[in-house]
Amino acid sequence: MHDKTAKIERIDMLICPFHWLTGLDCPFCGAQRMFLALLHGNFVEAFWLNPGLAIGAPLVGLWWLWKHEISPRAALVMVIIAFAWGIVRNIVPLG
């Protein structure tokens, strides 16, 4: 059986500077692999590569469609949530 995951891992990815410096995952680590998994139709794998981004990005998109703008206050809330996700994902083993 063809292993799509192994194929994705062989593609060179940009290195996250935060992960390179600290060894920790930033809120966006896994986004490149997530995008490739989506392109290959591997939705479950894509979700588990960065669950916070998988949930948050569509919500931001829906917010944009609903409000047609992202106010400074909403942007601040999104930054705080992303920061919290960056902490949680390094404490709680996900995926």
Closest to Zn ion by CB, 18 or 48: 18
Closest to Zn ion by CB, 74 or 81: 81
Residue 7 C-beta: closest distance to Zn ion, Å: 22
Calculate helix-pair angle for 51-67, 31-39, nearest 10 degrees.
80
Residue 84 C-beta: closest distance to Zn ion, Å: 15
8 A C-beta contact, residue 86 and residue 26: yes
Closest to Zn ion by CB, 21 or 44: 21
